[in-house]
Structure formats: C-alpha cells, structure tokens
Structure 1
Amino acid sequence: MKSSSIRSAAVIGSGVMGAGIAAHLANAGMRVVLLDVAPTQLTAEEEKKGLTLADAAVRNRLAAAAVAKMPKAQPAQLYDPAWVKRITPGNLSDHLSLIGDADWIVEAVVERLDVKREVLAAIESARRPGTLISTNTSGLSVSAMAEGRSLEFRRHFAATHFFNPPRYMKLVEVVPTEETDPETVALLTELCEKRLGKGVVVAKDTPNFIANRIGTYGMLVTLSDTLEHGLTVEEADALTGPAMGRPKTATFRMLDLVGLDTLIHVVDNVRERSADDEEKAIFARPEILSALVSQGRLGEKSGAGFYRKQRGAGGRSRIESLNLRTMEYGDQSRVSSSVIDAAKAAKGAAAKAKALLTADPSHKHAQFAWSTIKKTLLYSAAQMGIIADSITDIDRAMRWGFNWELGPFELWDAIGLEKSVARMKKEGERIPEWVEAWLADGHGSFYKEADQKRFYATKGGYAAETAESDVISLSALKSSGKTVLSTSGASLIDIGDDVVCLEFHSQNNAIGGEILTAIRQSVQEVSRNWRGLVLANEGRNFCVGANLMLLLMEAQNGEWEEVEEIIRFFQDSMLRLKRLDRPVVAAPHRMTLGGGVEACLPADQIILSPETYFGLVETGVGLIPAGGGCKEAAALAASRAKAAGGSDLQSPLNALFETIAMAKASTSGHEAAKLGLLRPQDRVVTRQDARIAEAKRAVLELDRAGYAPPAEERIAVAGREGKAVLKLAVQSMRFSGLISEHDALIGSKLAHVLAGGDVKPGAEVSEQYLLDLECEAFLSLCGERKTQERMSHMLSTGKPLRN
C-alpha cells in the first residue's frame, strides 16, 4: 500500500493533540472523522436552550467544539480555514461505525493506559481488517496498550508521537512493538514524511521514547546545576538558549510553556517504568518542582511558574522571575558576562558551544555550561541501543522535536570528541563503553562527510546516513566544493543536472547591495553556463525584506540620491532576473516578506512550502513596495481581468490593493493564493524540506519544454478613474477611524501607483513607467517623519507602529 492511497482518517479524542492532528490530516487532503465521548451532563447554556442528553448537539459537543475553534485558532491549525469542512465531528457512542470507512485510525485520548486500552478495544470492534492504527502518546508503553488485541490488529498498530503543535513541529516518532509488521512502519513513515511533511525517527518502545527522554533529562540537569552553581533562572536561560544553539525559550521559559505538572508526569513515567536503580534516581522528582506544582504554580497556564506576568503601571505587563532560594518573585535582572558575550559574538551553534566551553574556566557560567553539556552528552551516549538504534535518530529527534540546532552527538563533534572525553575522564566521569571503543579504533568524531554524503558512527564503523527523500542540502553541497560564486550576502551553488541555486545568507537574509550584486552576477553566470536557476536557502526565513536600517540611515541623513540609487538598483536587479534567458524558479519558506516577495515575483514559477508566510508588507513601515512589487501587482490585476474577459479591471485591482495596503501576509503557502499574490503556475509542495528538489525539477521541465523568457509587456491599468475608486475606499476608512492620517497618505500613494497614475482607464503602460511611479512614491514616503518613526520602531522592537 502507498501513502497516496490513504484518503480518509478517523481521530479518536478531540483534545489539544487530537484536534491538532485532525486538522493536519485535513491539511494533507484527507477526509477526517473526529470522535470523542458523549457528555453525561448538560452545560448551563444547553439547559437554557432546552436541550437534552439525547440531542445530537449535546452528544457531539466535545468534537464539534474542537472543530468550531479550528478556523480561528492561533497559531493557525489549518493551512486554509475553509478546509475545516473536511472534518466531521461525532461521538464514540453513535458514530463508532464510521471508523470502518477510515484508511487510518489515530487514537489520541488522555495519557492513561487503561483508557487507551479501552478505546483500542472499541476501535478493533469497528475497524476494517488491514486498516492502519496508531496511538499518539508521549511515552506510554505501546506494547502494553496492544495487550488483548488480535494479532492482526497488533501487526497494523504502532505509536505515531506527534509533537505539539502538530502542524508546526517537524518531528514524529514512529514507535513499533515487536509484533508490528515492518510494512506498517514503512507506510506510517511514508505517510508522515510525504503526506504530512514531517521528519520521522523510529524509536524503541521505552519510556518517553527519544526526544522527551533526553529533553527531560536535560531540563532536570539544568535545574540541578542552576541550584548547584547558584545561578538565577535568567542566567540559566541566557546560557541554555541561543548561546547553546537552542531556542530562545531556553529551559525555564520552556518549562513554563510546557507546564510544570506535565514535566512531573513525564519524569514519573520514566522513573516508574524503569527497572534500573540509577535511572530511577536520575528521574526522581526535584523538590522545587514538586513544591511549585503543589502550590498551583504550573507555569504559563496558571499565570506563574519560574516566571510570572504582572500588570504594572498604566496597564502594561511586566515579567517577574522566581528567586530559587526564597521562592518569591522579583523583577527580572539583565544578564551579562564575558562567557555569555563570547557565545553571542560567535556565529553558528558549533562556534557558540566552543565559545562557552573555552571561556574563563573559573567563571561560574562556564562551569555551569560545561556541566550541563557534559551530562547531557554522556546520558545520550548511554541511551544508544536503548531508545534508538542510531545516533542519527537521536540527533534528528532533538533537532526536530526540541529545535536544537545540533543534536547531542553533533554537538559532541563540534566541541571536539577526543579532547572533551579526555576532560570528562580527568573529572572522573564514566564514559560509555561503545564511545571508548570508538575512540580506541582511531575515530576522532561521530560523523564524517565524503562524496556529498554524511556518515555516522556504528559498531561496525561509519555507515552512510539515510538522507531524507527528495531533499537537497545546500550546506552539504557547499561543504563538498559545489559553490560556483559567493559574496558576503549570497552564494551560487551547483545542485546538479546543470542547475544552480542562489542562496541568500546575509543577516536575516535581508536584501541589500551584496545580495543584489550576487543576483546580477548569477544572471550572467547562468545565462552562459547553466540550464536554469533556483532561488532558495536554508536560513530560518527565506527573506524578511530589504535592508531597512540602511534605508533609514540614508533617509535621516537626507541622502536622497543614495536612496533613489538603492531603489533603482533593486528594481533593475529584479528586471534582470525576470529577463534571464534561462528558467528561474523560486522556492521560499517561512517569512517571505516585502523584498523577499519581490525577489520571487520575477521567477517563472514560485514553489512555496506550506509554512510560507508571504506578503508585501511595506505599508507596515510607512512605505510601499518599490522593488517591482507594485508593478507586478498591477500586472497580476491586468492578467486576471484579461482572463475574465477583460471588461473589469477594477475588481482584481481592488483585491490586490487591499492585500498590500493592509500589509496582509499569508499564514500558509496555501493562503498566499487567497491573498491574490500567486499566479496560476505557482504551487505549494507538501514538504518544506523538499522544496529545493521540487524547484530544480520545475527548472528542468521548463528547460526541456524549450524555455523562452517573457517578453517585455505592456500592462493595462485602471488609470485615474480606478485610482479614484481606491482613494475613496481609503478616505472611507479614514473617516470611520479605522486608519490614521498617515495610513491614508500611504494608501493614496499606493493607489496612485497600482492604478497607473492619471492615465486614462485601460491605457497600456510600460513596466518602466510603473517602476518610475513606485520609485517616486517610495522616495516621498521616505521623507515623511512618521514613516521614519515607523521604520525606527520596527528596527528596535520588531513590531509595527501605528502613528
């Protein structure tokens, strides 16, 4: 059976995880039945309506309420709110038979073994033989759940541990039992990877599997070492966040988000299921956690944990931190030290870790960092063969499930395997036997790279790491010498089959002169020597826009010639990209805003990942798109009017004007089409990590079809009458108090550009004419004090200013 044949699913349990999984299955195009128990009591509202326990509205209440929340959930659960129609709510008592039509059944009820067994028994009574069944559990015994079920059931049963929120977190741990058919594991892996866009690791059926086992251990170690070294929670978080190649939530903020009671549950689960006394001691309940939970201080959900949000003067909120000695809250302190500063200055997770560990060894921050890293590395190595069969599965689980930049074995290599083990031994630590044997055999690292492949440590020597299917790694290609040209802001990389990829790598991938220069150089190089070009990168975001700081500095200094030169350089670079005589395909991901969108629009095709947040958002900083964005929007409106018969240019123009004027950005790649920013040839791929390979395929298809670049076009515009319609909408919003006076000014200038100025309605204008209008409007807005205030506020806070 192929994953493509799985078209319908049933999810049992409509809580946070069940609803999230159901929504993501709907994102994958499946028809989903979401079932929960039928309530045994009426709510006050139901009694008021005169409903009884026999009414469908009552019996389906739990699942129906979960479905009703999905379209407006934050963060969004669905790629498109309209896809909620793919989910049908019901209850187990009345609708159990519906699971007989499902191709995949996911049990996601409360984390209690007795309840899960009961539900699985009900599932077996109604399921069709051969149907996939999986349980979503964060660490209960999968084998114990399946006890009492038939052999046929057990062969088709495994755990699929999704991380929360299911749409956004990449990791899914597939956990088979000894009786699970290998074909079931293969099908679940293919389903999660290709249909749901996940990264899959196969874990062993041990307490809390891989990521939660190591992640929880790391949190316990951090808590213990924080107390031992006399650090504050702020100091510990400053050291165990980005400074260690981990998320900003670090340790104590993460604990508050997860819930201290949830951590206690995970800790208890490992301890109670372990037969090893040393393991039981490691996962003993920390006294401070027990005390906080008993006091109802559970973290963010209760309003207080290791941090507490308080309302201050003027209604503003302030964050207080817990004093671990007094258990009282006080104002947060700013944390700084030579150790933290060294890590901040280093670039990349490997360099940051080295900086932490090579800083002044007498400083308590360096001692704390070494202690927590050392213990986590040793524990991870001790779990090899117990929780997973390979170090690469452990590393991937921590990168994908906890958002570590480096997994434990990758981190060990980064700080120096031989040198760090020697230090551990000197300090009396016990090194796992297999690590000792590995070093004794003359190996100096757990990983090595050769022939564009990565190899990892096994008992028999290095083994080739199984690459994720349909994934092109730009970093691996660069390491193997495939860089064609490079500037400080971008690199052109050979990705095979005579196709190259232009990768941005400036700070935040913001477009400045170095990227634009690389675009021009790439256009020349590709025209001479290659079949086509892909625009993509592996940064956190594709591109957050143009270099706002440079523009603000020039504007504040009144250097208007320089500002115009920047705009013209941007516009001309985009035109060169559009006129390239080889196919160009853009593959954006995550934040693709402002100038990032303008870099994609000249491409012959845009292939977005589901998690692409796409929008021309310049009005948020008091500007309008001026890198060709307005020109391309006008062209989109004209092409849509032509496709609809050509008589109504105003309607498509109005829609695009609203999208740009309101600085709308999509919450998914799919929603970008609804905002009117995509063309018919643009599309969304299921897996974010496959977007570069898919873009390369698209380039080759265009080349094989006999590619010819688009000719310079004349664009039909709405002219002065169309502009009047747009400006009337702006004034209406201003008179209604929905926008400020400065918003109205920006909107009016945007209307002037998108409508083509004061030409007659339907006039056909050149691309350069529209680019000139863009430039003129942009320059005038740059000179406005309120625009400069907006730009400054965005740079300092990361948030828009409404002035």
Structure 2
Amino acid sequence: MGATIAAHLANVGIPSFLLDIVPRDLTPDEMKKGLTLESPAVRNRLSNAGKEALISKKASPMNPLYKNESADLITPGNFEDDMNKLKGVDWVIEVIVENMEIKKKVFKNVEQYILPGTLVSTNTSGLSINEMVSECSEEFRKCFLGTHFFNPPRHMKLLEIIPCKETSKEVLDYMHTFSDKVLGKGVVFAKDTPNFIANRIGTYAMMYTIKLMEEMDLSIEAVDAITGPPMGHPKSASFRTLDMVGLDTFLHVAKTCEDKSDNPAEKTVMAAPEWLSKMVAMKLLGDKTRGGFYKKAKGEGGNQKLTLDYKTLEYRPTEKVRFDILKKVKQEEDLHKGFKMLIEGEEPASQFAWKLTKQFLLYSAGLIPEIADDIVNVDRAMRWGFNWKLGPFESWDAIGLKASVKKMRAEGDTIPAVVEEMLASGFTSFYTEDAAGNLYYYDFAAKKYLLAPLPAQKVELPVKSLHYIIKGNKLYAADPSPIRLAALKKQNKVIKSNDDGSLIDIGDGVVCLEMHSPRMAISPAFTEFCFEAVEEAETNWVAMVVGNEAENFCVGANVALVMMAAQSGEWEMLGRSVKAFQDSVMRFKYCRIPVVAAPHGMTLGGGMEICVHCDRVQAAAETYIGQVEMGVGLIPGGGGHKELLIRYIEGLPADVPVNMLPIVQKPFEYIAMARVAYNAREAQELKFFRSTDRVTINKDYLIADAKQTALAMAIEGYRPPAPKPIKVLGSDGIAAFKAGVQTMLWGGYISEHDQKIAGEIGFVLSGGNITPGALVSEQYLLDIEREAFLRLCAEEKTHERITAILTTGKPLRN
C-alpha cells in the first residue's frame, strides 16, 4: 500500500521517496543480465516494482495515478542505502508488515536519521500507536501519530488520525488541515484502540453477518442482496467486498480485535468460523487469487459467475435472489424510508436486516467513548471508510430511535446505558437541525446537543478578505469557508427556483445555479430555469457558479423523454427542446458576469456541454466526464461538437496553411468512441477542460473554491468573450471521416448504426458539406448539430439503444 499512498501524494504534486527492503536473492532474469546483489537495480527491485505497478496501460477510474507522468515524482530506494535521504524530508510514513516488533525496530532506526520536528506516522490498520514508539524519545513521540489511509488511497475519503499520548496539538492541527485541504481526505480522530473506528465496527458487522447467515441458513447471494443498496451500503455488499479486500487481510484484522478484546461477547463474534480458515488454507482469498466467495469460470455460454457454497466449499452457478421486500425498497427513492421499510418487514430478508442492524447499532453505541469521543467521528468513519450511505447513529435515526429501542427491549436486548440515559432525558434522535440548517449531534459526555463540526475545515483569516468588488452600492469580499447549499436553502437564501433548479445566494455577491432534477438529468424545466437564472445573475450579482451537492453533477439528457417524443412524432417540440438547451448554454458562455462550472462525479453528455460553455471550470478531482451519446445512438446536441472543435483548433495561425484533419481527428475519436476522462487531470489532457481550469481535491470545498474562482474573475474586471468565426474542414473532412469509418465497418469493428452515428459526428465537426477552409459561426454549427441529432432520433436502432440503457443499464451495440 506504500506505493499507492506515494501515488496519491504524486497526484497532488508532492514528491516522495519509496523505500523497501533489499532482496537477498537474485531472480533468474537478474542472473541472465549479469546483475549482482550489489547492483542498484537489484537492491531497489521491490520499490521499482511498486512504482511500475502504478503506471496504467489504459484509462480507468481505478488507476492510482491521475496521470502516469506523475510517477516521475516517486523516487525508488531501499532501507539500507537511502536512509540518509530522510534528513531532507518533511514527513515519513511507515507502511510495512503488521508486526509490532518489526515496526518498533523501524522507528528506532528512523529516529537516527530524521531532523528534529520531522513528522512521522504509521499506516497501521489497528496495532497500538503508543506501543510501537514506546522505545523512541519523547521528542520523537511529539511528532508521531497514526495516519490510517483506507485502500485505495486515491478513492477512499477516510483518513483516521490517531495521536499517541505525547503527540503535540500543533502536529495534530497541522495534519488535520494538510490532510483535509491538500490530500482531500475526510479526517476522523480515533483513539489508540484495536482496529481504531472503521475497521473495528466494520469487521464486527461483517463477522456478525457471516454468523447470522449460518444461523438463518441463507446463501451468500441472498446476504449480498440484503446488505447492499437496500441497507445503504455499496453494491459490493458483504462478500463481494471481502473478495476485493482479501479474506486473509480481513481475518488478520478480526484476529487483532479478538486477541486484544476483553469483552467475551465481542471475542465470540470476532472468532472466525472453521470454514473461513479452510478457505484461507485453500487459497480462496478473493480477487488476488481469482476466487473467493465468488469467481468467474469459462462455461459453454462464455464466462460464468460462480458462488461458493460455504457448507461444502465448492463452487456452483450463482443463483438469482428474489425477496419481495427488496423490490419494494428499490422503488423507494428516499434511503431513510426504504431502510425503515426493510427492517420492519416480516419475510426472511427483513428479519436478517433487522437482526444485523440491531446488533451493530448496539455494538457501536457501546464503544463510545472507548474508540472515539463522539458519534460524529464514528458515523463519518463508516461512511468514508466503507462507503455506507448512513453511519450507525444516522441509521438508528432513520429507523426511529425510540421505537427501535422499544422493540430491542421487547426482544431481551441490553441497551447501552448512555442511550437509555439519553432517552430518559427526552432526547429522541442522535441528530437534529435548526432552522438555519446547522447540524447538531447528541454528545454522550455533555448530555446535550452540540454543533457538529463541518466535514471540511473552516479557514480562519486575520481579516475576512484581501479581495473585494463593488457593484451598485454593495461591497463583496472573498470568503474561503466551505459552503453547504442545503444549509443555505434553509436560511432562505434561495432567490428563485422551480422543480428542477434553484438559484442560491452563496455570499459575497455570487449565486449558485443548482440542478436538482430527477437522477440529475437535464430536463425542459431545468433548461427553462437556466434563462431565468442568468438574467437574474447578470442584473443583480457579480458572478455565478453552476454546481450542486448531489452524487453526480449531471448525467446528461433525459433520453426517455427524447425517445417518447420521437416515437410520438413530436418533432417540432423535440427540436424546440434541443434548441432551448443550446441557447441556454450559449447564455452561460456570453453572460455579462463570469460563470464557473463546478463538476464532480459523473459529468456526461449535456453535463459536459454545460461545463465547456462556462468561462472557467473548478472541477472535483474525481470527475468522470465525456460525450457518451454514442451509447444511446445519438450525438451531442448541446454544442459539444462546437466547443471541443474550438479547443483543438484555437491557437492555430490564421495566416499559415495548416492541415487541420489530424487535429480534428481527436475530437472526432473522443465523441465517436464515447471517451470518458476518469479524473479532472485527464480531462485537461484531453482538452475537455482547459489548462487554466482548476481542480479541487476535497469535494467538500468544491462550491467554495468555484465561488472564489468566479469572484476573482469578477475582481479582475471580467468581460465576456467576443464571438469568433470558426474555420472548418468542410467537404474534405466529411470524405476523410467517411473513409475511415467505412474501413472500421469492413474490419468488423463497428456496426452499420455505429457507422451512421459516426458519419453524423464527422458531418458536424467538418461544418457540413461546404467549401474546405470556410469560416462559420457558432450558431451555424449549432444548427447543423441539432439537425443531425434529430435525424438520429428517428432511427429505430437508436430507440433500441435507449431502451437497453433504461432497462439494463448497459449499452447495446446493435
């Protein structure tokens, strides 16, 4: 894991040394090359391999690096030749085997090389922080702490910070701010107890899940169907998650807790069933051994998914799970209501969910203040470390604290004293909000509600701002604090809204245009609202941000509505809708005040078109952006061709002959192949974002950072861009793209419908069948794009692709 932590440091521009042990034997390949044990390539073999493993051969959202070039910031080395380099570093992170005696030796050795005041931390997942530095000096311990990254570090938000007894407050405060702002982590403060917070509760919940499965005689598939999204957990649920983590790793964590616990009931739950130990002996560890609770095998019909029968430890075809209650829960969009519906049902799935939920709620409440000082740290640890939608105490509120405790008592369960005392004092929920949207939590020690700290840190400045702008008789100044749109709405900061959009005053003269349409798809109502928002912003405000706090920024057009209109022959209405969206994004582009997009998560199709028409983009690092309309048999219809074309040809000299075809080939490929950039840095490389666009590592700060960017542009004296004519390939481009696509068809790489769609893409990017090198307007390109879009809407095969996406979630290549 040391290499992937180094990768995340590289993602944010921080260089590091990656040190590993020196091999004691040569490999056959090293012998052939004539290398010796003294050769640097041999001595750094392990760290070199760790670095090489970070470099990905193809784009993927799971790559540890945003871009492969960042690996240059990682310098491999070893523990024997390179320890003197520690004298020049700011932070040493230990990521070695989970063995206490080895860790003690490492830290005693590290202390000999570092300068006073150097930060040192351990990435241990559960060993005692205090014990591992018990033989180090007090000065060393003042700068020592636990920094438990969750794997993979790029993607998992949680960072557990665990101080030792002597860790200074200055070190803790600095690491909190640095981890939050620079590394983009959600920081949780844990205590020096076995497995800290997330692994302690998560391991207990998983072990109890396994034993409850045995007790109720359910299958592995059935348990995963229950413990996934219906309970607010990831799709990987329980056993698929274990396959990803590795069964041996999981059992090691469980064993740590079992050995260190003095609670007999906890020891019983943490003790692994015999069949799990047999799985480890049989190397059925999960993905790393290509088989665990699930595996894939080749069958007569291709790859077949198999599931382990835990009673026989033999694989069988995976079975479909059918519980009526799960269908009902899936139809409920409100997570809290769906979860409550699940545990209140009568069928086996509901009984399982209730018994499991009850157990980990009682367990979690009983661990405070042992593992953490408050419920906020516990809930955040489970949300950020295990990707649960609700932490234990948030889950308890969702099902109703008072009613559920009554049911637990009736079933003979012992309620933790702190919960009994809380209820007796008249507090009936763990969390509450005031009228201004401020969140409060019940504190067991204070015995009252306290204001919950923001997930991101509020930045305190000696003065509010050094930047200001005057509009009318008002002075607006920059404020770098995190912004919560939900709270602002409760503070009556909504200027205007409709069902799918709101315009919110986010302070300092800046407004935020928020989309909140169903599933974050572009709707006619949102498009209509965009015009109102821009008019209001231009008239009364200094800058505008386009952003939201949903899981995704925007997934594109509502293709179900598009297909319904096409099948009903409502071509005039459909044409008006497409033109309205084109006009709305053009209003962003030529707005009299700066407009900054704040994309995050899925930013697809029309979502990307919104971004590329804004003056600037302030993107979350984890933004997945692309023009993916090919998958539903369509092409971009909101100016996507135009803006990508402009980005690739801008800067070309007007008075020098240039062959534009190889240049325009890139946007053609990206649109025709539905290319997605899997992070904001990659999006800049593909020109989906410009090099001047900015990236926010911690999404909690995204709206605030976008506001700062917009305000800075306003302060500098923003003027909207002047429209410029666009040089196009014309008929030469159409012919070239047609020839290339025909070759792909003959080679069997694409279907005839793919050919038709690609032909329309080439037509639009070439500017239509006109004189090569002609200059055209933006509106001209929008018009031919809209016409091409409508032509594809009439195709039956396009309807088939849309239907496939809506019903299966998978693209159909017909």
Aligned mate of 1:612, from 623, 641, 646:
623
Q: 1:637, 1:649 within 8 Å by CA — same for their partners in 2? A: no
Distance 1:742 1:520, change over 3 A: same
2:335 maps to amino acid: A
Please state if 1:396 is matched with 2:375.
no
1:454 maps to amino acid: L
Q: CA offsets, 1:689-729, max 9 Å, x none? A: 21111111222223334444334443333333455555555
SS at match of 2:677: coil
Please state if 1:447 is matched with 2:431.
yes
2:762 maps to amino acid: A
Aligned mate of 2:610, from 585, 596, 599:
599
**Corresponding residue of 1:11:** none
1:55 maps to amino acid: S
SS at match of 1:179: coil
Quote the RMSD (CA, aligned, Å). 2.5
**Corresponding residue of 1:10:** none
Please state if 1:372 is matched with 2:356.
yes
Matches within 5 A, 1:49-68: 49-68=33-52
What is the rounded CA distance, in whole Å, between the counterparts of 1:646 and 1:483 in structure 2? 52
Matches within 5 A, 1:79-478: 79-314=66-301, 316-359=302-345, 362-450=346-434, 451-458=436-443, 459-460=445-446, 461-467=448-454, 468-469=456-457, 470-478=481-489
Q: CA offsets, 1:584-625, max 9 Å, x none? A: 211001221111101112212111111111212223443321
Distance 1:98 1:730, change over 3 A: farther
2:628 maps to amino acid: V
SS at match of 1:653: helix
Aligned mate of 1:69, from 16, 36, 53:
53
What is the rounded CA distance, in whole Å, between the counterparts of 1:356 and 1:608 in structure 2? 37
What is the rounded CA distance, in whole Å, between the counterparts of 1:109 and 1:797 in structure 2? 44
What is the rounded CA distance, in whole Å, between the counterparts of 2:294 and 2:506 in structure 1? 47
What is the rounded CA distance, in whole Å, between the counterparts of 2:647 and 2:154 in structure 1? 31
**Corresponding residue of 2:665:** 654
Following superposition, the deviation at residue 496 of structure 1 comes to: 2.7
1:520 maps to amino acid: F
SS at match of 2:358: helix
Distance 1:640 1:790, change over 3 A: farther
Following superposition, the deviation at residue 774 of structure 1 comes to: 0.5
Q: 2:305, 2:318 within 8 Å by CA — same for their partners in 1? A: yes
Q: 2:499, 2:517 within 8 Å by CA — same for their partners in 1? A: yes
2:245 maps to amino acid: V
1:433 maps to amino acid: A
What is the rounded CA distance, in whole Å, between the counterparts of 1:437 and 1:113 in structure 2? 39
SS at match of 1:342: helix
> Which stretch shifts more, 87-96 or 545-554?
545-554
Q: 2:207, 2:272 within 8 Å by CA — same for their partners in 1? A: no
Distance 1:532 1:383, change over 3 A: same
What is the rounded CA distance, in whole Å, between the counterparts of 2:543 and 2:377 in structure 1? 35
SS at match of 2:103: helix
TM-score scaled by structure 2? 0.91
What is the rounded CA distance, in whole Å, between the counterparts of 1:726 and 1:305 in structure 2? 47
1:622 maps to amino acid: G
Matches within 5 A, 1:669-684: 669-684=680-695
> Which stretch shifts more, 266-275 or 113-122?
113-122
1:780 maps to amino acid: R
Following superposition, the deviation at residue 105 of structure 1 comes to: 0.9
What is the rounded CA distance, in whole Å, between the counterparts of 2:11 and 2:527 in structure 1? 36
SS at match of 1:413: helix
Distance 1:721 1:323, change over 3 A: closer
**Corresponding residue of 1:699:** 710
Q: 1:173, 1:200 within 8 Å by CA — same for their partners in 2? A: yes
2:388 maps to amino acid: W
What is the rounded CA distance, in whole Å, between the counterparts of 2:721 and 2:634 in structure 1? 29
Q: 1:641, 1:648 within 8 Å by CA — same for their partners in 2? A: no
Distance 1:682 1:430, change over 3 A: same
What is the rounded CA distance, in whole Å, between the counterparts of 2:2 and 2:656 in structure 1? 46
Please state if 1:28 is matched with 2:15.
no
Following superposition, the deviation at residue 325 of structure 1 comes to: 4.4
| Structure 1 unaligned spans of 5+ | 1-16
Following superposition, the deviation at residue 522 of structure 1 comes to: 2.4
Following superposition, the deviation at residue 629 of structure 1 comes to: 0.7
What is the rounded CA distance, in whole Å, between the counterparts of 1:304 and 1:414 in structure 2? 36
**Corresponding residue of 2:2:** 18
| Structure 2 unaligned spans of 5+ | 458-480
Distance 1:62 1:324, change over 3 A: closer
Q: CA offsets, 1:168-191, max 9 Å, x none? A: 000000111101112222222222
What is the rounded CA distance, in whole Å, between the counterparts of 2:354 and 2:483 in structure 1? 34
What is the rounded CA distance, in whole Å, between the counterparts of 2:495 and 2:102 in structure 1? 59
What is the rounded CA distance, in whole Å, between the counterparts of 2:165 and 2:48 in structure 1? 37
**Corresponding residue of 1:13:** none
What is the rounded CA distance, in whole Å, between the counterparts of 2:130 and 2:169 in structure 1? 15
Q: 1:634, 1:717 within 8 Å by CA — same for their partners in 2? A: no
What is the rounded CA distance, in whole Å, between the counterparts of 1:307 and 1:521 in structure 2? 52
What is the rounded CA distance, in whole Å, between the counterparts of 1:333 and 1:701 in structure 2? 57
What is the rounded CA distance, in whole Å, between the counterparts of 2:638 and 2:630 in structure 1? 14
Distance 1:614 1:45, change over 3 A: same
Q: 1:349, 1:406 within 8 Å by CA — same for their partners in 2? A: no
Following superposition, the deviation at residue 557 of structure 1 comes to: 5.3
Following superposition, the deviation at residue 431 of structure 1 comes to: 1.5
What is the rounded CA distance, in whole Å, between the counterparts of 2:500 and 2:161 in structure 1? 39
Following superposition, the deviation at residue 27 of structure 1 comes to: 0.8
What is the rounded CA distance, in whole Å, between the counterparts of 1:642 and 1:629 in structure 2? 23
What is the rounded CA distance, in whole Å, between the counterparts of 1:385 and 1:51 in structure 2? 56
Distance 1:500 1:283, change over 3 A: same
Q: CA offsets, 1:38-94, max 9 Å, x none? A: 111111222222222221111111111121221217621111111111111112122
Q: CA offsets, 1:191-231, max 9 Å, x none? A: 21111111111110100000000111111121222222232
> Which stretch shifts more, 485-494 or 529-538?
485-494
Distance 1:747 1:376, change over 3 A: same
**Corresponding residue of 2:516:** 505
1:775 maps to amino acid: R
What is the rounded CA distance, in whole Å, between the counterparts of 1:750 and 1:279 in structure 2? 62
What is the rounded CA distance, in whole Å, between the counterparts of 2:540 and 2:230 in structure 1? 42
What is the rounded CA distance, in whole Å, between the counterparts of 1:594 and 1:44 in structure 2? 51
What is the rounded CA distance, in whole Å, between the counterparts of 2:108 and 2:743 in structure 1? 61
What is the rounded CA distance, in whole Å, between the counterparts of 1:784 and 1:51 in structure 2? 64
**Corresponding residue of 1:9:** none
Q: 1:582, 1:709 within 8 Å by CA — same for their partners in 2? A: yes
What is the rounded CA distance, in whole Å, between the counterparts of 2:283 and 2:662 in structure 1? 55
Q: 1:261, 1:298 within 8 Å by CA — same for their partners in 2? A: yes
SS at match of 1:159: strand
Aligned mate of 1:47, from 31, 38, 44:
31
SS at match of 1:51: coil
The number of residues matched between the two structures is 784
Q: 2:528, 2:580 within 8 Å by CA — same for their partners in 1? A: no
SS at match of 2:726: strand
Distance 1:688 1:642, change over 3 A: farther
What is the rounded CA distance, in whole Å, between the counterparts of 1:645 and 1:138 in structure 2? 61
Following superposition, the deviation at residue 471 of structure 1 comes to: 2.7
What is the rounded CA distance, in whole Å, between the counterparts of 1:732 and 1:122 in structure 2? 63
Following superposition, the deviation at residue 131 of structure 1 comes to: 0.9
SS at match of 2:18: strand
SS at match of 1:272: helix
What is the rounded CA distance, in whole Å, between the counterparts of 1:119 and 1:403 in structure 2? 33
> Which stretch shifts more, 198-207 or 645-654?
645-654
Distance 1:640 1:755, change over 3 A: farther
